[in-house]
A = this chain, B = another copy of it.
Amino acid sequence: VGRVHLGLLGSGVVGGGLIDLIAKNQALIGERCGLELIVQRALVRDLNRPRPMHVEYTTDAAKIINASDIDIVVEVMGGTTQAYEYIKTALQNGKHVVTANKALLAQRGNELFHLATQQDRCIGYEASVCAGLPVIGTLRQGLVGNDIESLYGIVNGTNNYILTQMAEQGTTLEQAIQEAQKLGFCEADPSMDIDGIDAAQKLVVLSELAFGMHVQLQDITIEGIRHLEQADLKQAASLGYVIKHIAIARKVDGRLDLRVGPMLLHKRHPLASVRNEFNAILVKADAVGEMILQGKGAGAMPTASAVLSDIVDVALRDAPVHLRKLVKAEHGASAEGRYYLRFPIVDEPGVIGEITTKIGREGISIYDARAVLEDESTDGNVMILTHKCSLVALNRAVQAMQDQLRKAPVVLQILERK
């Protein structure tokens, strides 16, 4: 306990937010935990931009990662190349590290955690997933005595904002993206979000922690939201569902089922009411039952809040947070569920009969099938809801009915309220 000297790698939106937050709540933090946090030095690209005066700025990373007057290195620069080298060097030099970098952890987290353990140092990474929502702390600390069964998360605020706007305002995907960009919820290039990569990176970090198994991005079935149309949102609403972009990690008989993609949620499902840029994680665990964490999953101050909580945690422990040794994961747990399909059919007699026969041939029962109201904005014109079936069988059926479709179907899993 006492003074803690921080070196920031990066001083952009999050780094600047952290400097402001420490300045604002310094006294409060001191009263709470007896620590004085001092931002000793911050790495920047351009020394000439105006910034708070009480911090020393440098363009030389060595002055942070090799400096004897820095206790904790805070990586808020992003990227996976330089950030990786800097964190590695900082750990080798005996610094604790706090990072907000999910992309780096998803790619090389295993290696960095291993190095940290060897060096008897900590890596705090609360800010890497869902910003200020303490999901990492809850999994690592609050649920430490629980066997975790599954995680269901709305972990990408951009996609949730876009889907909320499409559903509630009737906008197109493109309009909703522009609106999200205007509000700062979405990058100029929205691909990482809307193609599901960002959500999948978060799922790597969460599922390694929850299940103690090594997970890589390629272990996850990833779907984005680009292919969704107004027709799907309208159909979902008319059936009493909302469409959300969900990240799922489940342990089924020792194997992992890891998926990211849009799904239909019953309107009374606990995640269905999570709107706009908000994030939420539903954890099911043996002792605690179902638990939900909900809040803002992005933004300068929420992220700075999480970084700060890691800094205090690391400073108070000054000892490595023991990570469960990651074991090799068995992937490919069966994804079973009810599914929604929407697709345009070729205009020939008997086509619907052929399609339903092919679905039936895979042992899949149809719960509801209907023509979707014609709408100029969409090609879709047949919607099918299935009873519970395996995704493998459903994919075989879709494969078999290719000649009857004018376009690949939209396939969404249905999550009931239960």
Q: Which residues of A contact B (CB under 8 A)?
A: 1, 21-22, 24-25, 28-29, 31-34, 126, 131-134, 137-138, 140-147, 212, 268, 270, 273, 285-296, 299, 301-302, 304-306, 308-309, 311-313, 316-317, 319, 321-325
Contact = CB atoms under 8 A, between A and B. Distances in A.
Given A287-B308, A292-B294, 4 more contacts: A29-B145, A132-B287, A132-B291, A142-B306
A292 B289 contact: no
Contacts of A306: 142
**Chain A, interface SS category:** mixed
Given A28-B147, A147-B28, A21 B287 contact: yes
Q: 8 tightest A-B contacts by CB?
A: A134-B142, A145-B308, A291-B295, A132-B288, A287-B305, A292-B294, A32-B324, A287-B301
Copies in the complex: 2
Contact of A287 (B285, B289, B302): B302
A141 B141 contact: yes
A25 B292 contact: no
B294 A294 contact: yes
A34 B143 CA distance: 15
A142 B146 contact: no
A313 B21 CA distance: 26
A144 B296 contact: no
Nearest to A293: B293
Nearest to A18: B145
Contact of A137 (B142, B145, B288, B294): B142
B295 A31 contact: no
A324 B32 CA distance: 4
Given A31-B325, A287-B132, A141 B293 contact: no
20 contacts: A21-B287, A32-B140, A34-B322, A132-B143, A134-B142, A137-B137, A137-B141, A137-B142, A141-B309, A143-B305, A144-B309, A145-B312, A270-B273, A285-B305, A286-B301, A287-B301, A288-B296, A289-B301, A290-B295, A316-B319
B144 A134 contact: no
Contacts of A21: 145, 287
Nearest to A131: B288
Given A138-B137, A212-B31, A145 B309 contact: yes
A51 to B, nearest CB: 19
Nearest to A275: B268
A273 B270 CA distance: 8
A317 B309 CA distance: 16
